[in-house]
Amino acid sequence: MMSEEIMKKKMRGFTLIELMIVIAIVGILAAIAYPSYQESVKKSRRSDAQGVLTGLAGAMERHYTNTNSYEDAAVGPADIGTPIIYAIKSPLDGAAIYYNLTIEAADSSSYILRATDVNAQDGDGYLELSSTGAKSWDRDDSGGIGAGEACWAKSCGG
């Protein structure tokens, strides 16, 4: 009788095979979930950059209201480069910077704003917003706006 009780006590617990199966299942779930998580984080950062670009456009319009021109809103020569009338990074309130903001072109009647992904390895390209409200996204990170990249949505035509 005593040995039967000892055997029952020894049989409690998990076998190595059972633990390996659980670890394999967790590994498979993690392999599926992690890329989705990474894409979600990228999408969130891109969305924040779009919001910050829209805020910079608002600052450009206020600057135009005060000076009757979009010129002199940037640090660099020819009125391009880092904005002096708004934040220079996205997100606005974080220690980490995911996008740098620049004024790509500005004259007395128009401008082009850009948010460039600082993590080039992400392959997320850059976002642009013009004074006409035209939005573009170098989705394939080719260095230029191509066919089907004339909006901020992934489902643009083209």
Q: Which two tokens stand for residue 59?
A: 């600052």
Range of the domain at 23: 14-137
pLDDT 10s digits, 14-40: 889 999 999 999 999 999 999 999 888
> Are the C-beta atoms of residues 63 and 73 closer than 8 Å to each other?
yes
> Are the C-beta atoms of residues 79 and 103 closer than 8 Å to each other?
yes
In a domain, residue 1? The reply is no
In a domain, residue 157? The reply is no
**Number of CB atoms found within 10 A of residue 145's CB:** 17
The DSSP bridge partners found for residue 113 are 103, 129
In a domain, residue 128? The reply is yes
In a domain, residue 152? The reply is no
pLDDT of residue 144: 86
72: left (phi over 0), alpha (psi -120 to 50) or beta: left
Mean pLDDT of 104-126: 86
In a domain, residue 71? The reply is yes
Q: Which of 12-21, 53-62, 89-98 has the highest mean pLDDT?
A: 53-62
Residue 12 has pLDDT above 80, yes or no: no
pLDDT of residue 158: 47
